[in-house]
Structure 1
C-alpha cells in the first residue's frame, strides 16, 4: 500500500515538473530521431557557423572560452554563441544523430565521409578579409581543406554518386563588409569599388569557389545570404556618438573607441588587432529593418535605427547572390547542381516582427558583451551573461543566440515561403534526385 502511494505521488510530481518546464527548455529539446535525409553534410562559412576551427590560432576570432558555449555540452568549445549554431540545428533536422558535424581541425579520418565543418571565424570570400582579427581560413582555404578531405576519403567515401546526395551549406559575405569594405582605415576596397562594383567582385570570386566545390563532387548547395548586419548590437552601439565609460574599464582594452570607420582596436598580449568597421550612420532604420523594433529591456536605442549604409550595400549583394543561384539552377554552367538561397534578411525581419510570439523580449542588445547595447566589445572570458538566453535574439555584439538560430534553421529547413528559402527549402533539397 505504501509503495503504491509513493509511486502515485512520484507520478504526480513528474507531471508537475513537465508542465512547469521553462519554455526555452521545451523549445530546445532535441527532436525525435528520424531517418537521415542525406549521407553527409559539409559546411563552409564564418563565425556564424564555425564550431572550433579557429580554436588554436593566433586570432581574436575565437570562441574557445566561457561563457561561449555555456548551454552547449556536446563536445569541445568553439561556437560563437551560447549553444548550437544554425548548421548544428539543420544537421539535427536532417536526421544526423549525435555527435554533431565536427570541425575539420579536430576531426578524425573516420569522420570525413559523414561530414565536416570547414567554417572559420572572420573568414570572407576575399582572402584579405578579416586579417584585422588575425589568422583564419578564408573561403578559398576552406575549399582546399575539402579537397584534401576528398583525397583522404578515397574512392568509396568521395564517390560522385555519394557526394552528389550530400548537403553543402555555404554562408559567406558578412565579414567582407564588416571586416573589409566598411573599414577604410585598414582596407582599400572602399576606395577601389562602389557598392555595386564591390558586390559584383565578391560574387565573381564566390561563383568561382562554388564551381571548385562542384568539380570536387558537390551538387546540393544551401547558400545563406547576409543578414541585416547594420542592425547588430555592434552597429547599434556605434550609431550613438556618446562614449561608454564602462567599456574602457574592462580588458581587453579598446585602443580606438570612437565612432570612426576603422573599427575598435584591441590589444591582447602586445598584439593590436581591430574588430569591425562602420560606414556612415543612420537614425531611421525603416519599417521592419531594425531588430530592436520597440521592445527591449533597455528601451529603444537612443539613435532609433540601424546603419542604413551597410544594409543598403548588403541588399545589393544579396540581390546579386539570388541572381547567381537562379543562374546556376538553369544548369548550363554547373549541370546537375541544385542551389537553394536562404534569405536571412527576410527571415530576420519576420523574426523581429513576431518576436513576442517566439518569446523574445530583448531585440537590440547582446546577452553578453561590454558597453552600449552590450555591443562595443564582444563577450569577454568568464564574463557573466544574461540569465535567460531564450529571451535574447543576440548572444553577443555580432552573433545570434541558440534560440534565434533555431528559428533560422527551422525556416530554412521547412518553410513553404520563397521569402525564406528559394526555390525550395533544405528538406526538399535533400529529397531531390
Structure 2
C-alpha cells in the first residue's frame, strides 16, 4: 500500500512538473481564442453512433441528420469538461487511463468519468454528434456549427476558485469564448443567420461546485468569516444571474441551468470528515440544497424578466439523492466507495492509474473522489431530457423545451 501511494505521488508530481512552464504565466495573460492558442494535440472526436456503454440510455435517439436544435453549447466545470483541460497546465486533467476506459473509444479523452458525461447523452437525445472541446478543434466554422464545449475542470463562478490546481478557463472566460464563437458566426454567416442559430440552440451551464470544494470549504481568504453559507449562495447566484443576462443579450434563448450535486456524499468528504458507515455529510449537503433553492428561485425570476427566454433549472442534488437512496432499484451495489482511488472510501488519493480502479464501474455510484460513473450520468441525463426516472427540472424538462413552439 505504501509503495503504491509513493508511486502515485511521484506520478502526480511528474505530471505537474511537465507543465510547469505553462504555469509560470498568469491565466489572464492567455488569449484562449482558438486562432491564437497553440494546439499541441487534437483528440479524435468520438462517433455518435457507437454502442452505449450502459443500457440506461434510451435506445431510440434522433438521427443526426434531423437534429431537434441546431447546436448544443456547454459552459461548466469537470462535470462536463470533454477535454479542454488537456491543453492546460493543471493537476485537473483526465487524459490518462483509467479515465475513458468504458467510453465509446475506450480511451481517455479528458472526461472525468469512466465513460460518457451527461452532455454526451443529451447530444444524442437532441440528434447531435458529441460536442467537441473548444481547445480541441482548430476553429473551422464547420466544426462549431453543431456546438462547442467550453467547460474546464476546476473552474468556478469565482475567478480564483480552483486556481491552486493550475490553469483553468474561468466562468467569465468561457462566456467570452462563447461570445467569440458567436462573433465568428456573424462574420461567416451573417447577423440574421447567426442570431437564428444561437437563439434556436441550447446552452447548457453546469458550474459552481468548485466554489465550494476549492474556495468556501477550504476557507480561502477567510471567506467563511465574511459570508455565512446563505450570503455566499446569494453572491454566487447574483453573479450567475448577471452572466445569464449577458448571454441573453447575444440572443441566447434556450438555457439549461444545472444545480449542484450532493458533494457531502462524495468519497473525498466521506474520508475527510470520517464518515462512520458512509453517511453523507449533512452540513455540506445543506449548503448545496440552499444554493439550488436560490438558483431555482432566480430562474423563475429571469423567466418573468427576460421576454421569450426559455430557461430550465435542473436540481442535480434531487436527482442524485434519488439514486443514492434508491440504489437497489437502479442496480447499484456500492454507494459510498469510489471505483478509483486510494484510502477509505477511495477518497484520499485521486484516481491516477488503472491499478487503483475497480473492475466493474457499472455497479458504483462514484467513479472517483468527486465524479459519478457513466451509469449515473446516463440516469441524470435521462431526467434532464424527459424526467424518465424522477422529475428534477423546472418548470419543464429539456424535451418539452425544444419541442415547444416559440412564443
Q: What residue is the counterpart of 1:229 in the other structure?
A: 263
Unaligned runs of 5+ in 2: 1-51
**Bigger mean CA deviation after superposition, 68-77 or 308-317:** 68-77
TM-superposed CA distance for 1:419, in Å, is: 4.1
The answer on 1:338 being equivalent to 2:310 is yes
Larger Rg: 1
Q: How does 1:66-105 map to 2 (within 5 A)?
A: 66-74=97-105, 77-96=109-128, 98=129, 100-105=130-135
Alignment partners' CA distance in 1, 2:122 and 2:94:
21
Aligned length: 346
Alignment partners' CA distance in 1, 2:100 and 2:60:
20
TM-superposed CA distance for 1:354, in Å, is: 2.3
Q: Indicate if the aligned counterparts of 1:416 and 1:425 stay in contact, CA closer than 8 A.
A: no
The answer on 1:314 being equivalent to 2:288 is yes
Q: Indicate if the aligned counterparts of 2:76 and 2:206 stay in contact, CA closer than 8 A.
A: yes
TM-superposed CA distance for 1:210, in Å, is: 1.1
Q: What residue is the counterpart of 1:182 in the other structure?
A: 217
Q: What residue is the counterpart of 1:149 in the other structure?
A: 181
Alignment partners' CA distance in 1, 2:58 and 2:72:
22
Q: What secondary structure, in the 3-state scheme, does the structure 1 residue paired with 2:169 have?
A: coil
Q: What residue is the counterpart of 2:29 in the other structure?
A: none
Q: What residue is the counterpart of 2:201 in the other structure?
A: 166
Q: What residue is the counterpart of 1:429 in the other structure?
A: 401
Higher share of residues assigned helix: 2
Cα deviation, 1:212-268, whole Å, max 9, x if unaligned, reads 21112211011100011111111111122xxxxxxxxxxxxxxxxxxxxxxxxxxxx
The answer on 1:391 being equivalent to 2:363 is yes
TM (norm. structure 2) is 0.81
Aligned in 2, Cα 1:28/1:236: closer, same or farther, shift over 3 Å? same
Q: Indicate if the aligned counterparts of 1:181 and 1:187 stay in contact, CA closer than 8 A.
A: no
Q: How does 1:232-247 map to 2 (within 5 A)?
A: 232-240=266-274
2:83 pairs with one of 26, 45, 52: 52
Alignment partners' CA distance in 2, 1:28 and 1:416:
11
TM-superposed CA distance for 1:153, in Å, is: 2.0
TM-superposed CA distance for 1:78, in Å, is: 0.3
Cα deviation, 1:37-61, whole Å, max 9, x if unaligned, reads 1110000110010000101211111
Q: Indicate if the aligned counterparts of 2:382 and 2:388 stay in contact, CA closer than 8 A.
A: no
Cα deviation, 1:12-70, whole Å, max 9, x if unaligned, reads xxxxxxxxxxx965445864443411110000110010000101211111101111111
**Bigger mean CA deviation after superposition, 227-236 or 105-114:** 105-114
Aligned in 2, Cα 1:24/1:119: closer, same or farther, shift over 3 Å? closer
Q: Indicate if the aligned counterparts of 2:365 and 2:372 stay in contact, CA closer than 8 A.
A: yes
Unaligned runs of 5+ in 1: 1-22, 241-300
What CA RMSD, in Å, does the superposition of the two structures yield over aligned residues?
A: 2.0
Alignment partners' CA distance in 2, 1:66 and 1:418:
33
TM-superposed CA distance for 1:308, in Å, is: 1.6
Q: Indicate if the aligned counterparts of 2:382 and 2:389 stay in contact, CA closer than 8 A.
A: no
Q: How does 1:20-419 map to 2 (within 5 A)?
A: 25-27=54-56, 31-34=60-63, 35-74=66-105, 77-96=109-128, 98=129, 100-108=130-138, 109=140, 110-154=142-186, 156=189, 159-184=194-219, 186-240=220-274, 302-330=276-304, 332=305, 334-415=306-387, 419=391
TM (norm. structure 1) is 0.76
Aligned in 2, Cα 1:349/1:76: closer, same or farther, shift over 3 Å? closer
